[in-house]
Amino acid sequence: MGRVVGIVLLGVGTFLIALAPLVRFQVAGQLIAAPADQYGITKLTADNAQYFSVGDLKVLTGTLDITVTTRGDVTDSTDDKVVWDQFTSVSDVTNNRPGISMTEFRSAFNKYTGAAVNCCGASIDKQPVKLDGQIFLFPFGAEKKTYKVFNSSTGAAYDATFDGEDVVNGLPVYRYVQQVPATKIQTLTAPASVMGIDEAGDVQLGRWYDGTVTFWVEPASGVPVRQEQRRHEVLKTDDGVERKPALIATAKYTPETTDELVKKAIESRDQIGLIKTTIPIVLLVAGLLSLLAGAFLVVRGRPASRRGSAGAS
């Protein structure tokens, strides 16, 4: 009986040892992925922001509250891609101006790498856009290098350069900095007199945006747990003369949002560690112990005459 059990243990041990690298290098890659059913609300705030109020036809200064709602489109999320829709609403709480800006962003990206996928009606404010670079997330296992990250304000991707290691709420993170060059993002008209131009009627303006975006990313999960956007947007006439600020602000994740994202990043990091490290090691150790126990039982279960035959003359 002991010999039969030993043979079974040998088989189990061999299976577990073979399973360990399979879980580590194949199964883990399929399990570690961005969710199709994503739903989250991110809040940012910008103190002492300056912006041109279309309703007031003048520049106002105030604190801006920014709410970003992200929802996954499960129907269009198939195979190795996910589709997320994002809605951003900006309100001026100082001057009681709700909804001074509302934008929509529909995107698709590889659920394993976070890299852009051009499909599924990707758009900014209903206008088709070609996606490039990382969308929302950095890769799982982010490295100390430069990544292209898509900027939905300009509809283009720019380098986000590794800028050092940091700690956010006790969580070790990598910091990446992205410089966005001056880019024309909108054409609009306004009364010439409002722009300080001594003319009758309206004048055409270009809205130009440049800025710096800093991401603090938990590297194992690729989740940005903190973000700071320094935005410099101005209104220029066709002669290149800057007429008014359109939006000059530094927007940051609120402490509550950072706390929540840190918790999610820790959960994701721990799950990834469980799948990629803990489970394979447990399988390997269990397999080795099974092999040893099985070998011992098989040898002990052999008839005494056969065990001693090697020493007989």
Question: pLDDT per residue over 65-88, tens digit each?
Answer: 999 999 999 999 988 999 999 999
Strands 123-124, 58-72: pairing is unpaired
Which residues are within 8 A (CB) of 3 and not within 5 positions of it... i.e. 6 or more apart? 297, 298, 300, 301, 302
Question: pLDDT per residue over 193-207, tens digit each?
Answer: 999 898 899 999 999
- Residue 163 to residues 151, 174, 312, Cα–Cα distance (Å): 19, 8, 73
Residue 313, pLDDT > 60, answer: no
Answer whether 48's CB lies under 8 Å from 81's CB: no
The whole-model pTM stands at 0.84
Based on the number of CB atoms within 10 Å of its own CB, is 237 exposed (0-12), middle (13-18) or buried (19 or more)? Answer: middle
- Residue 278 to residues 9, 24, 112, Cα–Cα distance (Å): 22, 9, 20
pLDDT-derived band at 64 (thresholds 50, 70, 90) equals very high
For residue 217 the two structure tokens come to 């990313």
